[in-house]
Amino acid sequence: MAILKGDNYTKQENPTSDNIVSPGTLGGRKRVLMETVTLAAANIADVVKLGKDLQDGAKVLGIELLNAALGAGVTLDVGDDDTGDRYMTAVDGNTASVKRDLNVLGYEVGQADGDNTILLTIGGAAATGLVTVLITYTED
């Protein structure tokens, strides 16, 4: 039987200045940022800042978007000040639904200017209704 080692295990076993593991990767605490917003005829390109700024080194584990029927043609992007659709792109907001995206698993905040602030951007048409965003992440 062979004993294999994960990448981060190996880095911790033989630390060097080139392979420091961020606190959000090993020993980080799992947290959930939950934000709700009731949109009232929010215009195309309107932006909602969500929760609080994440600290550098935080690792995003997943995004959940729960929305009411917001109106025909409405789309929603979840991203940040650097990339407006980093986490979710053109999610259909026409009907009430729940969307989960784990494709962002492990994105480390602090790699780009402005990626600490999580944003919801309205697209397609004016939006009216309740939106809830859950962001699961680790930090410190």
Q: Identify whether the C-beta of residue 6 lies closer than 8 Å to the C-beta of residue 19.
A: no
> For the chain, what are the domain ranges?
22-139
Residue 124 · residue 74 · CB < 8 Å: yes
Q: Name the token pair of 7.
A: 């990448």
Residues 114 and 119: their CA atoms lie apart, in Å, by 10
Average pLDDT over residues 62-79: 95
CATH number of this structure's domain 22-139: 2.60.40
Q: What is the pTM of this model?
A: 0.83
How far, CA to CA in Å, does 15 sit from each of 20, 57, 102? 7, 18, 29
User: What is residue 83's three-state secondary structure?
Assistant: coil
Exposure string of 102-128, with b = 16+ CB inside 10 Å and e = fewer, is eebeebbbeeeeebbbbbbbbbbbbbe
Strands 118-123 and 75-80: antiparallel
Average pLDDT, the chain: 90
Rounded CA-CA distance 118/135 in Å is 9
Tens digit of each residue's pLDDT (9 = 90 or more) over 43-70: 999 999 999 999 998 999 999 999 999 9
Q: Count H helices, E strands: the chain?
A: 1, 9
Contact 131, 39 (CB under 8 A): yes
Q: What is the pLDDT of residues 18-35, one digit of tens each?
A: 777 776 677 778 999 999
